[in-house]
Amino acid sequence: MDGLTTGQLAKQACVNVETIRFYERRGILKQPRRRRSGYRQYDPGIVRVIRFIKRAQELGFTLAEIEQLLQLSENSGRRMADVNSLAQVRHPTYGSQ
């Protein structure tokens, strides 16, 4: 079985399981595929996305702004580094640490 369970994802991304579920309900994260057992199965790459969301929140981005940044990344084929650069325009302190 490849992929992460919700608990494994939460641990690797350093967030609470409810945080992941909240992001899914809000539409910031796509609904993951499910195993035959019904458990969610996440792609390991989603860890980086969740860490991006949390870091952006710490820097004062709203969830709406974060969602726009993620959409830019997905829809325009931009790399996350390019999105980070755009984020610095909106919040100059982004990425400074």
Q: Residue 55 above 60 pLDDT?
A: yes
When pLDDT is averaged across residues 52-77 and rounded to a whole number, the result is 83
Position 2 pLDDT exceeds 90: no
Q: Which of 32, 37, 36 is nearest to 3 (CA)?
A: 32
Measured distance CA(31)–CA(40) in Å, rounded: 8
The residue-averaged pLDDT of 57-76 equals 82
- Token couple for 71: 């959409």
* 12 neighbors 53 (Cβ within 8 angstroms): no
Domains and CATH numbers, the chain: 6-90 (1.10.1660.10)
- Give the model confidence (pLDDT) of 5-41 as tens digits: 999 999 999 999 999 999 999 999 988 999 888 889 9
